[in-house]
């Protein structure tokens, strides 16, 4: 009977299946229990026998969750072969099988993607969208699409689940999908990624290589011209590099000049990247320390204002600030400036400890520094008011004259610094490639 069941599943003969089930209603369970491979539902799903699959699912829907010796479900088999109707039938009884992994760590969506079955991919993503985010050996499904040159599936996935972070995910070697597409000279894929996604065109892998470096190291062919033009438009390459590649790819002198230029540029970029990263870390650490100190001082000044507080109710309510009654105008300015300094530094601390990815950009570090300047200016005003209310009357006028001069110099200096750094910030932002600008706006 088991041999007859096997032959029926290969042929998709539902009549034989029904007759066998009449003789032994448990035959499907027995075969599943005794065998690890060649189970009827797996065979029928792989060969596309829709009626046979539906007959089994009607009688034994639980068999859709049974694995073979390779940990493959019937859904794995149907997806790998692109049988859309069978995929729909299997999903209708157990949609959670979308995320089941075989022995190689691939779920049914991975198998459908590498085979280029777009309709199957649509059904799987509709049933379980998060299945597309499962990684296989530190590779996303987008990496698999590029490796297997499945551009249509790649487009579909980018349109449905392709947010900025997902598109720019790196594999174990730090390669993005743009690295892989350039390395394999997939011109259409490179064009699609540069024009219709937020791929980071200057991203480096673990060896510090950008997509341009990958192109320079590979063998020369006529596809290089088209790829270099795409990268030039995206701001990765410059006109000098483009003109070198426009020459005969077999010209050894041009090749040598280009390779030497790329080698020196790569070393320079790696050094600059490390220096920038160290500089940013030092700046962030410094900002954290200074912000913590200023926040502590602002809190202390707010709870214990100059001249102290009334100790009893003889003149005013006990615990209220003396400065409210002796210097009401000063107190309002004191409270506002102290609060601005306190809130500004708390904002800096909160942003720095949040670990948000956009804080790694220089642009946002300059913004934090501007907030710090606002905080220090506010605390300077707080200090000036505190000393003013504590200075005796005879010396007050002389002190005010001196302090007013210092404050004017300070305000002028701060204005120049803020203006200068604002201009520099705008220049840095303008020099960024369009993809980086899009990424910054996306994070914002």
Residue 257 lies in a domain: no
Regarding whether 302 and 347 lie in a shared domain, the answer is yes
Cα dihedral across residues 204, 207, 208, 209: positive or negative: negative
Regarding whether 433 and 284 lie in a shared domain, the answer is yes
pLDDT in tens, the chain (444 residues): 888 988 999 999 999 999 999 999 988 888 888 656 789 999 999 999 999 999 999 999 999 999 988 899 999 999 999 999 999 999 999 999 999 999 999 999 999 999 999 999 999 999 999 999 999 999 999 999 999 999 999 999 999 987 899 999 999 999 999 999 999 999 999 999 998 898 998 899 998 888 888 887 777 777 778 888 888 887 765 545 555 455 544 443 444 444 545 554 555 555 455 555 666 677 777 878 888 888 888 888 888 888 787 777 777 777 788 888 788 888 888 888 889 888 888 888 887 777 666 556 666 777 777 788 888 888 888 887 887 777 766 555 666 677 667 777 777 777 787 777 667 767 766 665 555 555 545 545
For residue 302, give the nearest of 389, 382, 390 by alpha carbon. Answer: 382
Regarding whether 41 and 1 lie in a shared domain, the answer is yes
Residue 260 lies in a domain: no
What is the distance between the alpha carbons of residues 254 and 248, in angstroms, rounded to a whole number? Answer: 8
Tokens matching residue 355: 């670990």
DSSP 8-state code for residue 204: -
Regarding whether 197 and 137 lie in a shared domain, the answer is no
Residue 270 lies in a domain: no
Regarding whether 145 and 6 lie in a shared domain, the answer is yes
Report the SS3 class of residue 135.
coil
Q: Residue 403: which residues within 8 A CB-CB, separation 6 or more?
A: 384, 387, 388
Number of domains observed in the structure of the chain: 3
Domain housing 180: 163-250
pTM for this model (two decimals): 0.55
Regarding whether 317 and 386 lie in a shared domain, the answer is yes
Regarding whether 197 and 312 lie in a shared domain, the answer is no
Regarding whether 382 and 323 lie in a shared domain, the answer is yes
Distances (CA, A) of 111 to 38, 54, 80, 262, 405: 19, 22, 5, 38, 74
262 within 8 A of 224, measured Cβ to Cβ: no
Residue 421 lies in a domain: yes
Give residue 393's pLDDT.
63
155, 176, 196 - which closes a domain: 155
Give residue 274's pLDDT.
57
- Alpha carbon 165 to its chain centroid, in Å, reads 3
Residue 77 lies in a domain: yes
115, 131, 155 - which closes a domain: 155
Regarding whether 170 and 149 lie in a shared domain, the answer is no
Give residue 443's pLDDT.
46
Terminal C-alpha separation, the chain: 65
Regarding whether 347 and 205 lie in a shared domain, the answer is no
Regarding whether 172 and 144 lie in a shared domain, the answer is no
Give residue 254's pLDDT.
44
Task: Please report, for the domain that includes residue 116, its CATH number.
Answer: 1.25.40.20
What is the distance between the alpha carbons of residues 390 and 301, in angstroms, rounded to a whole number? Answer: 14
Phi, psi angle pair for 136, to nearest 5°:
-120, 115
Residue 262 lies in a domain: no
Residue 375 lies in a domain: yes
Residue 268 lies in a domain: no
97, 132, 155 - which closes a domain: 155
Regarding whether 188 and 51 lie in a shared domain, the answer is no
Longest dimension (CA), the chain: 115
Give residue 223's pLDDT.
74
């Amino acid at each position: 009977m088991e041999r007859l069941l096997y032959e029926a599943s290969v042929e998709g003969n539902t009549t034989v299946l029904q007759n066998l089930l009449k003789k032994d209603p448990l035959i499907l369970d027995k075969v599943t229990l005794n065998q690890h491979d060649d189970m009827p539902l797996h065979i029928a799903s792989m060969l596309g026998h829709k009626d046979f699959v539906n007959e089994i699912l009607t009688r034994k829907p639980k068999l859709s969750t049974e694995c073979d010796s390779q940990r493959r479900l019937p859904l794995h088999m149907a997806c790998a072969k692109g049988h859309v109707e069978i995929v729909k039938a299997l999903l209708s009884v157990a949609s959670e099988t979308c995320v089941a992994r075989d022995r190689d760590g691939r779920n049914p969506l991975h198998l459908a993607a590498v085979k280029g079955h777009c309709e199957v991919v649509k059904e799987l993503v509709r049933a379980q969208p998060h299945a597309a985010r499962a990684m296989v050996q530190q590779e996303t499904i987008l990496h698999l699409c590029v490796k297997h040159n499945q551009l249509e599936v790649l487009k579909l996935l980018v349109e449905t689940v392709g947010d900025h972070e997902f598109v720019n995910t790196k594999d174990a070697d730090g390669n993005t999908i743009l690295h892989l597409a350039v390395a394999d000279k997939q011109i259409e894929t490179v064009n699609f990624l540069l024009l219709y996604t937020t791929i980071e065109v200057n991203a480096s892998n673990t060896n510090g290589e950008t997509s341009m470096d990958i192109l320079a190291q590979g063998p020369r062919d006529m596809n290089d011209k088209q790829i270099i033009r795409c990268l030039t438009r995206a701001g990765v390459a410059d006109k000098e590099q483009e003109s070198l590649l426009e020459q005969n790819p077999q010209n050894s002198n041009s090749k040598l000049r280009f390779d030497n230029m790329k080698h020196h540029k790569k070393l320079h970029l790696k050094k600059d990247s490390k220096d920038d990263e160290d500089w940013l870390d030092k700046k962030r650490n410094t900002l954290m320390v200074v912000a913590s100190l200023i926040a502590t001082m602002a809190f202390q000044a707010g709870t214990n204002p100059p001249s102290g507080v009334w100790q009893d109710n003889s003149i005013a309510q006990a615990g209220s600030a003396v400065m409210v009654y002796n210097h009401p105008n000063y107190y309002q300015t004191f409270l506002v400036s102290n609060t601005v300094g306190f809130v500004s530094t708390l904002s800096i601390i909160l942003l720095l400890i949040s670990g948000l990815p956009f804080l790694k950009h220089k642009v946002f570090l300059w913004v934090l520094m501007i907030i710090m300047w606002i905080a220090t200016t506010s605390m300077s005003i707080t200090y000036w008011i505190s000393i003013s209310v504590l200075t005796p009357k005879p010396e007050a006028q002389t002190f005010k004259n001196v302090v007013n001069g210092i404050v004017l110099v300070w305000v002028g200096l701060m204005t120049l610094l803020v203006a200068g750094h604002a201009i520099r910030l705008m220049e840095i932002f303008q020099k960024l490639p369009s993809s980086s600008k899009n990424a910054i706006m996306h994070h914002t």
